[in-house]
Amino acid sequence: MRFNNLSRLVLSVGLAMGSLSAAQAADDDVKMGFIVKKPEQAWFINEQEAATQLGEEKGFEVVRLAGEDGQQVLSAIDNLNSQGAQGFIICPPDVRLGPAIMNRAKQYGMKVVTVDDRFVGPDGQPMEDVPHLGMSGYKIGQQVGNAIAEEMQARGWDPEKVAALRITNYELPTAKERTDGATDALLESGFKKSNIFDAPQQNTDTSSAFAAASPVLSKNGDYEHWVIYALNEESVLGGVRASEQYGLSPDQVIGVGINGSGAAFAEFSREKPTGFHGTVAVSSTMHGQQTAENLYQWITEGEKPPANTETSGTLMTRDNWEQVRKDLNL
């Protein structure tokens, strides 16, 4: 009888140690995906690299993947499942893909965190059950509009004689929030609503913005001064390049973007200033690190991240860009 009790004790201890070892192994074997819609853009490169670096420090693996359309996203999720990933971070190519992406993730028991662009459900509302980290598009947009208005005032421009090139992509709610914020800030500063001209772009990069901006500038040649804003700095740069081709000089243009990435750094590093006045810089490094940290805690400790975390930005110009870059760890 005494032997049986001892056997049970040894068995219990063994099971407990086995459970501990399994938990430790699970912790050591954490693997997550990081799927982005534009893997070639500096913003997303920084995010993925920051997540990877955190993984190296904490002992988990980050699989970096592209998801430039719905099919590629679903294939990426299948890929992650085959590698044993427990979850993934994603900036979706289309926020309306949220339900389909979540259905696939649930099939595999994966946890999901969105970054930058937030899933929307069939009702067009944000999917509150999916943790998200991003910037407040409207508030960031207001910062853009205020920065443009302040620079116009510093140059002594008459708001009634200035045209605004609003490079848009209203299929993306984040883009609309940002340009709406900038528009409202400009109008509050005394800008004329009738002087704002839309340039709908097919994509969110420099080339599509250039293609969208060129005909708008050509059709409105009565204006000597232009301001340019969009959802990101790549698009603003497309507008600036179009203004140069049209014949406008840097002192006739004020372009302000959003992000604070390699595109802006390259522009500020040019020997001579261009019409790209500045950008509202947000730390893509922080976005990558924080989302990876949040997902890691969720996988290993069951701590679900907040439903929505919003970050703010800092105006970066040719005069302060190196210091801001250092401060934000960009």
**89-141 pLDDT, tens per residue?**
999 999 999 999 999 999 999 999 999 999 999 998 999 999 999 988 899 99
- By residue count, the chain amounts to 330
Residue 81's CB is within 10 A of a number of other CB atoms, namely 18
Q: Which 3 state secondary structure label does DSSP give 316?
A: strand
Q: Which two tokens stand for residue 212?
A: 């969208």
Q: What is the span of the domain harbouring residue 272? A: 137-281
The pLDDT tens digits of the residues spanning 194-214 come to 999 999 998 889 999 999 999
Give the sheet arrangement for strand 253-259, strand by strand: 196-200, 162-168, 225-229, 253-259, 276-281, 314-317
Instruction: Report yes or no on 26 lying in a domain.
Output: no
Binned at pLDDT 50, 70 and 90, residue 25 comes out as: very low
Domain count, the chain: 2
Same domain, 145 and 218: yes
Same domain, 49 and 121: yes
Residue 83's CB is within 10 A of a number of other CB atoms, namely 11
User: What distance in Å separates the CA atoms of residue 60 and residue 298, rounded to the nearest whole number?
Assistant: 13
> Span 61-80, mean pLDDT?
98
The mean predicted confidence, pLDDT, of the chain is 90
Same domain, 39 and 69: yes
User: What distance in Å separates the CA atoms of residue 213 and residue 207, rounded to the nearest whole number?
Assistant: 10
Same domain, 106 and 172: no
Instruction: Report yes or no on 228 lying in a domain.
Output: yes
Same domain, 245 and 191: yes
The pLDDT tens digits of the residues spanning 230-287 come to 999 999 999 999 999 999 999 999 999 999 888 899 999 999 999 999 999 998 899 9
> Span 23-48, mean pLDDT?
82
Same domain, 276 and 184: yes
Same domain, 100 and 42: yes
What is the domain-level CATH number for residue 38? Answer: 3.40.50.2300
Give the sheet arrangement for strand 31-36, strand by strand: 61-66, 31-36, 87-90, 111-115, 132-135, 308-311
The alpha carbon dihedral of 90, 95, 96, 99 has a sign of positive
User: What distance in Å separates the CA atoms of residue 110 and residue 219, rounded to the nearest whole number?
Assistant: 51
User: What distance in Å separates the CA atoms of residue 72 and residue 65, rounded to the nearest whole number?
Assistant: 9
Same domain, 241 and 295: no
Residue 299's CB is within 10 A of a number of other CB atoms, namely 20
Same domain, 248 and 275: yes
Task: Give me the pLDDT at residue 14, please.
Answer: 41
Instruction: Report yes or no on 196 lying in a domain.
Output: yes
17 pLDDT more than 60: no
- Phi and psi at 31, nearest 5°, equal -135, 135
Instruction: Report yes or no on 326 lying in a domain.
Output: no
Instruction: Report yes or no on 24 lying in a domain.
Output: no
The pLDDT > 90 percentage for the chain reads 80
Instruction: Report yes or no on 67 lying in a domain.
Output: yes
Same domain, 79 and 191: no
Residue type, 302: G
User: What distance in Å separates the CA atoms of residue 36 and residue 116, rounded to the nearest whole number?
Assistant: 10
The pLDDT > 70 percentage for the chain reads 92
Same domain, 36 and 172: no
Q: Which 3 state secondary structure label does DSSP give 140?
A: helix
Q: Are 235 and 263 in contact (CB under 8 A)?
A: no
Same domain, 236 and 305: no
Instruction: Report yes or no on 90 lying in a domain.
Output: yes
30 pLDDT more than 80: yes
Instruction: Report yes or no on 15 lying in a domain.
Output: no
User: What distance in Å separates the CA atoms of residue 285 and residue 47, rounded to the nearest whole number?
Assistant: 5
